[in-house]
Structure 1
């Protein structure tokens, strides 16, 4: 029976980083991936959606200038060619991951792994079953699109996000259930291709986990782009009826479109992997329960989406690095569970780092906010994309959070994260030089020049 220092189950961002770091430090590593290396992020998530958004960004730029009567024209796309390019880029990246790990001596299995005990597993491959012993394991099986009774993708006119990324014809209209990151990004892409967007969100605002002011600005911008947005509406049924997708809302409203997308969140991949044999518990939603060190048991760490703490690829990789350090005894410290930066991409981007004003106020902190509008930024004006804002949240005199909505604001995320991580105060900002003209100057204006207001008084 093969024996390894570390068995990794799941080859997404967390599994890749864990295998790379552990093997580079001399551990004997095996990695089992039941489908495709790269996981959701590389194959049907972060990367392919950015390829599609990047390829169609010229449409947004052209429309912005047309609104100002500076030019005219149109851009047409070959969807088949676009999908082929997306698939080539994804396949190339996947091959690079495999080559890197193989070069480090990682034993790769294409098959489903399940625990048979606290230090043993069985990997089922096309060539047969392989039992494996290990000293430690990292569980990084990720998530899949969630569905609910009556709101299930059927592969006909009702699709989940995985299936939509293989679309072969552009629909005239699409009904998107869910106003979070997945629904917004795929809606932005299809809108650029000429598809009419109908969006239904059960919460009272788009991007319901973001700052309410950002959500309001986002709704205004997308409504101006022609999106039909239904907020605070719960869907009770969604199905293919002939050649259309038909959705009924709780209030009796019926919505129809050529296609429908279910973007209702994510569900953990924890079925059928022998959690009981490894003495691993899950919560009521199926996410793996972990301690302060990311341990699901004495021998198994659970990192990334599967533990439900932060469903971001960068969070998964950050957690994976911590788990490897712990296994190597290079760190005995608990995982800090930092506030993860997050972005929503598209024509109207959203960026968030650190704490929100509501979170700080609920903790009894002295909260104030300052903001700047992108309308005052010369680069945003030049690109005809002046809608949006940058908003800073202060805990006394210390910067505690930054959020933004608008053109290219995702590019502000790392600087904002660094300032918050370094516990920057207002007086310490004077040493920074912001190049001109840059979008960064909108962050500078919110940090240094905008008037403060106590939270709740704006």
Structure 2
């Protein structure tokens, strides 16, 4: 029986543990926060639970256009008050419940859980540091799934009360009067969207021309227009230099000398990998220039018998990718059938309102000539179901190869883009042609009808790149 020791119990760690146990390994997971790690307890699960609450408020604000009225109130959303303490209590309760479910599953599979932190002692031993002291664990296979920590600016250190990281937001008991969000990437945009929907006055500080610079440009443009229309203040081409607490306020200093004042400030300026001080260098585990663990497509590091998965690898900061990296690592290490990680098939989602979902090749790759293909973009406002639901913003975009018409990518911007992208994800994974997508039956009326319609518009063999 092979001894498998996993440092980190997030998606990469616990999914790897389940596979290793099923394949006959004797598995130990070392985790300092609890089963599920940061993804479950402070990051993904809490943030998406908060966003789900914000979505309800967004729906209520659109109720008036649908003809819904509340006696004595002009605005249906105005009849509700956000009890942030209750919202956050529910958020943390659900995160703890999810962690408990993971613990139950791991224990049922015979996985040993150690509460503490781990470090390498060579490539065959792991030292677990717990409240009761240290324990040395013999390991035939080691998986590193240590995750990341919110990045901090030297002149804007979070205090957990006024200047916050995204892991500290759930301690708030009252809705911020004015929330300054520094950073317009995925994390910043998601929290700005959520708190804006909950009723906070939000100022989003973006160093780029528009929000979500790493996403499809058309999608980012739609989201920014929705943000601005909803009353959010966006400071484009503005870089935060420092933040300080002054009484009951936070003053954010911008690089150009301007200042922005609010009641609270969320620092969403990226993450740093948890790779320091855990014995990687002495074990021969190579890091890149940013401190992330270098891995190949089957999750191997440069040290024999040592694998890595998740955000600490810097491959793709998604829980789904971390989980797949962990599974692939164990399949490979324990001799099961395995294929390399294929990032072209990864579906990703930004949980703003509206959401942005993507898979495969991007518009930027087509525009730069890195990939040759055709594209079509179909606005959602022409979709009958979208009209019925009062959806005015969003689109479906599909990319295909010129000759074979195989679908190689797509973008969906819609309230439930995270659900709609599955059709395009399957098409990319299975190398379906636009004709095959177009010929599939969709319910009428439905938002998925726009996916089939976009595919039909890519049918013509002589079609060049088209935008509608």
TM-score range, shorter chain: over 0.9
What are the equivalent positions in structure 2 for 1:27-106 lying under 5 Å apart?
27-67=25-65, 70-71=68-69, 72-73=75-76, 74-106=79-111
What is the DSSP-based 3-state SS (H/G/I as helix, E as strand, rest coil) of the residue aligned with 1:129?
Answer: strand
2:446 corresponds in structure 1 to 438
1:217 corresponds in structure 2 to 222
Q: C-alpha distance in 1, partners of 2:254/2:346? A: 34
1:410 corresponds in structure 2 to 418
Question: Among residues 220, 230, 244, which one is paired with 2:249 in the alignment?
Answer: 244
Query: Kindly tell me: are residues 144 and 356 of structure 1, through their superposed partners in 2, closer, same or farther at Cα, counting changes over 3 Å?
Result: same
Q: Which moved more, 1:388-397 or 1:10-19?
A: 388-397
Query: Kindly tell me: are residues 279 and 248 of structure 1, through their superposed partners in 2, closer, same or farther at Cα, counting changes over 3 Å?
Result: same
Does 2:293 match 1:284? no
What is the DSSP-based 3-state SS (H/G/I as helix, E as strand, rest coil) of the residue aligned with 2:80?
Answer: coil
What is the DSSP-based 3-state SS (H/G/I as helix, E as strand, rest coil) of the residue aligned with 1:147?
Answer: coil
1:22 Cα deviation (Å)? Answer: 0.9
1:339 Cα deviation (Å)? Answer: 4.4
Q: C-alpha distance in 1, partners of 2:344/2:324? A: 10
**Residues 357, 367 of structure 1: 8 Å contact kept:** no
Does 2:313 match 1:307? yes
1:357 corresponds in structure 2 to 363
Question: Among residues 418, 425, 429, which one is paired with 1:421 in the alignment?
Answer: 429
Unaligned runs of 5+ in 1: none
Question: Among residues 176, 180, 187, which one is paired with 1:182 in the alignment?
Answer: 187
Does 2:199 match 1:194? yes
Give the alignment's TM-score, normalised by structure 1. Answer: 0.94
Q: C-alpha distance in 2, partners of 1:421/1:239? A: 48
Q: C-alpha distance in 2, partners of 1:386/1:456? A: 21
1:357 Cα deviation (Å)? Answer: 2.5
Question: Among residues 352, 368, 375, which one is paired with 2:374 in the alignment?
Answer: 368
Give the alignment's TM-score, normalised by structure 2. Answer: 0.92
**Residues 10, 141 of structure 1: 8 Å contact kept:** yes
1:182 Cα deviation (Å)? Answer: 1.3
1:12 Cα deviation (Å)? Answer: 0.4
Q: C-alpha distance in 1, partners of 2:465/2:288? A: 35
1:113 Cα deviation (Å)? Answer: 0.5
What is the DSSP-based 3-state SS (H/G/I as helix, E as strand, rest coil) of the residue aligned with 2:33?
Answer: coil
Q: C-alpha distance in 2, partners of 1:213/1:357? A: 9
**Residues 4, 132 of structure 1: 8 Å contact kept:** no
What is the DSSP-based 3-state SS (H/G/I as helix, E as strand, rest coil) of the residue aligned with 2:152?
Answer: coil
2:353 corresponds in structure 1 to 347
What is the DSSP-based 3-state SS (H/G/I as helix, E as strand, rest coil) of the residue aligned with 1:18?
Answer: helix
Q: C-alpha distance in 1, partners of 2:261/2:443? A: 49
Q: C-alpha distance in 1, partners of 2:458/2:259? A: 45
Query: Kindly tell me: are residues 152 and 69 of structure 1, through their superposed partners in 2, closer, same or farther at Cα, counting changes over 3 Å?
Result: farther
**Residues 378, 467 of structure 2: 8 Å contact kept:** no
Query: Kindly tell me: are residues 186 and 332 of structure 1, through their superposed partners in 2, closer, same or farther at Cα, counting changes over 3 Å?
Result: closer
What is the DSSP-based 3-state SS (H/G/I as helix, E as strand, rest coil) of the residue aligned with 1:221?
Answer: helix
Question: Among residues 158, 161, 165, which one is paired with 2:163 in the alignment?
Answer: 158
2:121 corresponds in structure 1 to 116
Question: Among residues 364, 387, 390, which one is paired with 1:384 in the alignment?
Answer: 390
What is the DSSP-based 3-state SS (H/G/I as helix, E as strand, rest coil) of the residue aligned with 2:63?
Answer: helix
- Deviation string for 1:264-316 (max 9, x for gaps)? 11111112211123211111211001234321121111111110010000000
Q: C-alpha distance in 1, partners of 2:369/2:15? A: 35
Q: C-alpha distance in 2, partners of 1:86/1:389? A: 31
What is the DSSP-based 3-state SS (H/G/I as helix, E as strand, rest coil) of the residue aligned with 1:30?
Answer: strand
- Deviation string for 1:407-440 (max 9, x for gaps)? 2122112111100111122232343111112211
Unaligned runs of 5+ in 2: 70-74
Question: Among residues 208, 211, 218, which one is paired with 2:213 in the alignment?
Answer: 208
1:47 Cα deviation (Å)? Answer: 1.1
Count, aligned residues: 456
Does 2:265 match 1:260? yes
Q: C-alpha distance in 2, partners of 1:325/1:292? A: 12
- Deviation string for 1:176-206 (max 9, x for gaps)? 0111221122222212221011001112221
Q: Which moved more, 1:90-99 or 1:447-456?
A: 447-456
Q: C-alpha distance in 1, partners of 2:104/2:437? A: 44
Q: C-alpha distance in 2, partners of 1:430/1:221? A: 30
Q: Which moved more, 1:338-347 or 1:153-162?
A: 338-347
What are the equivalent positions in structure 2 for 1:219-238 lying under 5 Å apart?
219-238=224-243
1:55 Cα deviation (Å)? Answer: 2.5
Query: Kindly tell me: are residues 260 and 456 of structure 1, through their superposed partners in 2, closer, same or farther at Cα, counting changes over 3 Å?
Result: farther
Question: Among residues 394, 401, 407, which one is paired with 1:395 in the alignment?
Answer: 401
RMSD: 2.0
1:364 Cα deviation (Å)? Answer: 4.7
